[in-house]
Amino acid sequence: MQKQLPPLSWFRAFEASARSLSFTLAARELNVTQSAISQHVRALETRLGTNLFERKPRGLALTATGRQLLPYASSAIDGLTKATEIFQPNTYATEISISCTMSFAQLWLTPRLIEFRQLNPHIAINLSSTLWPDDYLINKTDIEIHFGRINQIKTGGTVLFPVELAPICSPSLCLDINNYDELWKLPLIETLGAMYSWKQWAERMGQYSPPRPVCSVDSLIMAQNLAETGIGVALLSPRLCHHALAMGRLINLQIDPPPAEDCFYLTTSDHAASKPVVKAFSNWLLEQTSQ
């Protein structure tokens, strides 16, 4: 003969009360009255023939049998919750996968993604980033945002914006520079693997005497973070660190950069080019970069 189990609501009341050791908090979690929680727990104790809680003046404490029952009750409720979710309709009508360099993702894209989510709350975003531009999982994501030479972008690529490097630092380090001699008196931060070292950048500007950098890092993100602390001047893209410039955490020393040879550009994989969600994100991205 099949045994009749106590109602699930009794177990839910017990499990919530056991986690919080409070009938009041359990009632708030399950959106019922404290009296209902207390009655369900008392009914379960009567059915099992044992006390599950010690009622104390300032809260609850599990008895030995209560501690024994809790993992079984939690596991059962969790299992039923997960099983039910299988049959729930997907919250998101669709999703999009994006890959880009870590510097683009952290410095430019993430401060703006909230706007896209507000405009498209039904779209789930899967964002993957890499430290170096050649680490992409080519054709594994719907949209790829690359960094490279303007005259060598991939077929079908669309330029988002050119990338120039300018001397940028914290206002605490310097507020105004009138010439290169004054610039070279400031400590410099070098970004290893970037498009130009300080020496190369200076040579493009017709200068040949930059001092040795006081600090070297391997990413633009770290260079920007160090510049914000006031350690030195970094060669950064004003477009990438626009948010920090607008917030006053950084200043552009306003020395004209050499003409841009590099850019960030957008490509879409063949399997995703016709997806409406890909077109929506691409159009939004182009609108953002045109501002």
Domain residue spans in the chain?
8-86, 94-155+263-290, 165-258
Please give the pLDDT value at position 89: 56
Give the separation between CA 99 and CA 137, rounded to whole angstroms. Answer: 8
Domain at 8-86, CATH from 1.10.540.10, 3.40.50.20, 1.25.40.10, 1.10.10.10: 1.10.10.10
Q: Tell me the pTM.
A: 0.60
C-alpha distances (whole Å) from 232 to each of 119, 137, 172, 220 are 39, 35, 10, 14
Please give the pLDDT value at position 85: 67
Please give the pLDDT value at position 42: 94
| Both tokens assigned to 22 | 């409070």
Superfamily of domain 94-155+263-290: Periplasmic binding protein-like II (3.40.190.10)
C-alpha distances (whole Å) from 26 to each of 7, 13, 14, 72, 195 are 17, 7, 9, 18, 58
Please give the pLDDT value at position 135: 47
Equal fold, 8-86 vs 94-155+263-290? no
Beta strand spans in the chain (E): 53-56, 59-62, 94-101, 123-130, 143-149, 158-163, 166-169, 188-191, 215-217, 233-236, 251-252, 262-268
Please give the pLDDT value at position 129: 79
Class of domain 165-258: alpha beta
**Tens-binned pLDDT, residue by residue, of the chain (291 aa):** 456 889 999 999 999 999 989 999 999 888 889 999 999 999 999 999 999 999 988 889 999 999 999 999 999 998 888 787 666 655 555 888 898 888 899 889 988 899 998 888 888 888 887 755 454 445 578 899 988 888 878 778 899 998 888 899 999 998 788 788 888 999 999 988 777 789 988 888 888 778 899 999 988 889 999 999 999 999 999 989 888 999 999 999 877 766 777 889 999 888 887 888 889 999 999 999 887
